[in-house]
Amino acid sequence: MEILTKEDVKINAMIVFERIKAGDIFIHPSDTIYGLGCNALDEKAVKKIREIKQRPSAPFSIWVPSLEWIKNNCEISKETEKALKLLPGPYTIILKLKNVKAIAKGVVNNQTVGIRYPNHWFSEFVKKLGLPIITTSVNLSGEPFMTDIKNINPQMEQKIDFMVYEGKKEESPSKVINTTTGEIIKR
């Protein structure tokens, strides 16, 4: 697994964009914890992440390139509008998807999707990439999530193409707000 810094990503952004568009599996930083990602439009890459995490069916969240993407591809209600005012931030907002072609088959298993739009420099990268990416914790299902390069599961590491590393993370996963049920989940 190749390790990139923030500076590497900025200098080589076009190369990193092409790698993601071509289906590379990668670890990315966020405002909470590290995420395992891929192009959310690439069905084969999404399937690889399912295999890596040993997570056959649970839905994945996506990191969107903009708030406009959400408005174009998700149903917007009054509850949704309230939740969207929290973004950018450390939240996963569950919304009803209105455009099923906006993400690859296999990302979600119903008509709702978890949306992330973090307050983090990597959001600007995703915005320039211009497409959503999968964002799920770096761990096998049921195991603790990765907070440091030292505690990545070796079984997973072998299957990841690159990592954007910015040091140890002290945060916890994002708070989930389900606008379809009104439920708030602290993780």
The percent of residues above 70 in pLDDT, for the chain, comes to 97
Q: What is the CA radius of gyration of the chain?
A: 15
The tokens describing 69, both together, are: 């993407």
- How many other C-beta atoms are found inside a 10 Å radius of the C-beta of residue 163? 20
Q: Which residue has the higher pLDDT, 7 or 55?
A: 7
Report field, pTM of the whole predicted structure over 0.85: yes
User: Could you report the per-residue pLDDT of 57-116, keeping only the tens digit for each?
Assistant: 888 999 999 999 999 999 998 878 989 999 999 999 999 999 989 999 889 877 899 999
Q: Which domains does the chain have, with CATH numbers?
A: 2-185 (3.90.870.10)
> At a CB cut-off of 8 Å and minimum separation 6, what does 176 contact?
91, 92, 93, 94, 114, 183, 184, 185, 187
